[in-house]
């Protein structure tokens, strides 16, 4: 078995998981078997992806690449991004014991993975690391940044969920929502999930994305901060989430306002991750 096949299979496993969670959302959470299958399929997808990533690492080792990290280009980083979302979602499901969250999280894992596998722009070939990328800070920087990105993606999914339910509540006048909105967690709980995933992502993104990134840049190029577009956009993203946390703490914002900030923050995240590489030029052109 090659890593490419495993990672390709992962795409379908994520798709199956996403479809199952959407089905659970539509048909309700009463069918326990379907719930169990959804969780197992998600775990299976995560396992496939983990094996794919490890196998790819091993293949690089066998090809004589020496120092390698399977997070070194856009393709690999998308695969890892999807992995982080799937893991993050499973953790949420475990904590909140609510499977309706899955319909707003697993589709992102599928989209990221499918984007990695089927977008013609990426080179999926295993290529050795450029000298500048051979650093332990790279591993730390990328892993922490992507866990952060995944948390922001989940916060975005939860924000969409919140806004949809809030709209239904406003229109129906029923504080618990009507129809399938009634099966979603209470607004207060969704608000809590949004806020917690944002602060978790914020910590990881600050430490991994900004601080480890700065240390790595300093050891490779001799400047810890050069206002390169990628750096600048990660700072902008950081500002958005820092502002979100501050309005929550000091001005007591919650609910719809925080949900909209989570949406804004995620757009900024996507631009930092993807947009900068293709619309702007800079040092960070590898991913």
Partner 1 sequence: MTKERNQVWRLFASVKLALWLITLLAASSILGTIIPQHKAPEYYIQEYGSELARLFQVMDIVPNMYGSWWFVALLVLFSINLIVCSLDRLPNTWRMVVLDNLETTPERLQKMPLKAEMQINEEPAAAGERVRRLLAAAGWKTAARDKEGGVLLFSQKGAWSRLGAYIIHISILIIFIGALTGSVFGYKASIMFPEGETVEHLFDRKTGQPIPLGFRLHCENFTIGYYPNNMVRDYRSDVIIIDPEMFAEPLRTSIRVNHPLKHRGLTFYQSSYQPLNEFLIKVQNTKTGLERTAMVSPRHQVTWEEEGVVFGVTDTMADRMGRVHEFRIWFDSPGADPSTFGMKDKQNVTVQRPEADYSFYVQQRYATGLQVAKDPGVWIVYLGCGLMILGLYVAFMITHRRVWAYLSPADNGGSKLLLCGGSNRNKASFDQRFKELAQRLRQDQAIN
Nearer to partner 1, 29 or 223 (CB): 223
| CB 124, min distance to partner 1, A | 16
Reported as type and span, the H/E element at residue 246 is helix 229-251
Residue tagged 């820092």 (tokens): 242
CA 97/CA 177 separation, integer angstroms: 19
Nearer to partner 1, 12 or 271 (CB): 271
User: Residue 97, interface with partner 1 (CB under 8 A)?
Assistant: no
User: Which residues, 6+ apart, have CB-to-CB distance to 153 below 8 Å?
Assistant: 81, 85, 105, 108, 112, 266, 269
Secondary structure letter of residue 125 according to DSSP: S
Provide the b/e sequence for 208-224 (b: ≥16 CB within 10 Å): bbbbbbbebbeebeeee
CA 80/CA 258 separation, integer angstroms: 27
| Secondary structure, 3-state, 104-123 | HCHHHHHHHHHHHHHCCCCC
Query: Of the candidates 128, 164, 172, 255, which one interacts with partner 1 according to CB under 8 A?
Result: 128
| CB 183, min distance to partner 1, A | 21
User: Residue 219, interface with partner 1 (CB under 8 A)?
Assistant: yes
| CB 211, min distance to partner 1, A | 5
User: Residue 199, interface with partner 1 (CB under 8 A)?
Assistant: yes
Nearer to partner 1, 44 or 255 (CB): 255
User: Residue 98, interface with partner 1 (CB under 8 A)?
Assistant: no
User: Residue 171, interface with partner 1 (CB under 8 A)?
Assistant: no
Residue tagged 């982080």 (tokens): 84
User: Which residues, 6+ apart, have CB-to-CB distance to 273 below 8 Å?
Assistant: 77, 81, 149
Query: Of the candidates 28, 29, 66, 91, which one interacts with partner 1 according to CB under 8 A?
Result: 66
Give the other-Cβ count within 10 Å of 76's Cβ: 22
Give the other-Cβ count within 10 Å of 180's Cβ: 16
Query: Of the candidates 50, 98, 134, 254, which one interacts with partner 1 according to CB under 8 A?
Result: 134
CA 161/CA 168 separation, integer angstroms: 11
Structure tokens at 128: 């050795």
Query: Of the candidates 119, 239, 267, 278, which one interacts with partner 1 according to CB under 8 A?
Result: 239
Query: Of the candidates 207, 263, 270, 283, which one interacts with partner 1 according to CB under 8 A?
Result: 207
Sketch the per residue contact string, 263 through 282, with partner 1: x for CB under 8 A, - otherwise: -------------x---xx-
Segment interacting with partner 1, rule: CB under 8 A, options 4-12, 25-33, 153-161, 225-233: 225-233
Query: Of the candidates 9, 23, 43, 132, which one interacts with partner 1 according to CB under 8 A?
Result: 132
User: Residue 235, interface with partner 1 (CB under 8 A)?
Assistant: yes
Q: Which residues contact partner 1 by CB under 8 A?
A: 63-66, 127-128, 130-132, 134-135, 192, 199-200, 203, 206-207, 211, 214-215, 218-225, 227, 229, 232-233, 235-236, 239-240, 242-243, 246-247, 249-251, 276, 280-281
């Amino acid at each position: 078995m090659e890593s490419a096949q495993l990672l390709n299979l992962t795409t379908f496993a994520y798709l199956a998981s996403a479809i199952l969670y959407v089905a659970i959302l539509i048909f309700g959470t009463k069918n326990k078997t379907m719930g169990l299958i959804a969780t197992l399929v998600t775990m299976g997808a995560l396992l496939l992806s983990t094996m794919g990533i490890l196998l790819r690492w091993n293949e690089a080792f066998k090809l004589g690449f020496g120092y390698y990290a399977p997070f070194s280009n856009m393709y690999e980083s998308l695969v890892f991004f999807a992995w982080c979302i799937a893991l993050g979602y499973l953790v949420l499901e475990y904590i909140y014991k609510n499977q309706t969250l899955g319909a707003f999280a697993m589709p992102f894992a599928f989209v990221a993975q499918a984007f990695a596998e089927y977008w013609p722009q990426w080179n999926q070939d295993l290529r050795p690391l450029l000298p500048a990328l051979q650093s332990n800070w790279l591993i730390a920087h990328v892993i922490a940044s992507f866990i952060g990105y995944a948390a922001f993606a989940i916060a975005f999914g939860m924000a969409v969920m919140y806004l949809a339910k809030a709209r239904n509540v406003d229109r129906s006048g029923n504080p618990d929502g009507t129809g399938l909105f009634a099966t979603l967690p209470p607004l207060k709980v969704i608000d809590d999930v949004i806020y917690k995933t944002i602060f978790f992502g914020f910590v990881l993104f600050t430490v991994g994305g900004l601080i480890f990134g700065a240390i790595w840049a300093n050891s490779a190029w001799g400047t810890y901060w050069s206002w390169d577009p990628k750096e600048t956009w990660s700072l902008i993203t950081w500002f958005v989430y820092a502002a979100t946390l501050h309005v929550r703490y000091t001005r007591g914002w919650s609910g719809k306002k925080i949900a909209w900030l989570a949406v804004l923050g995620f757009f900024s995240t996507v631009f930092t991750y993807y947009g900068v590489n293709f619309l702007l030029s800079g040092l960070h052109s590898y991913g």
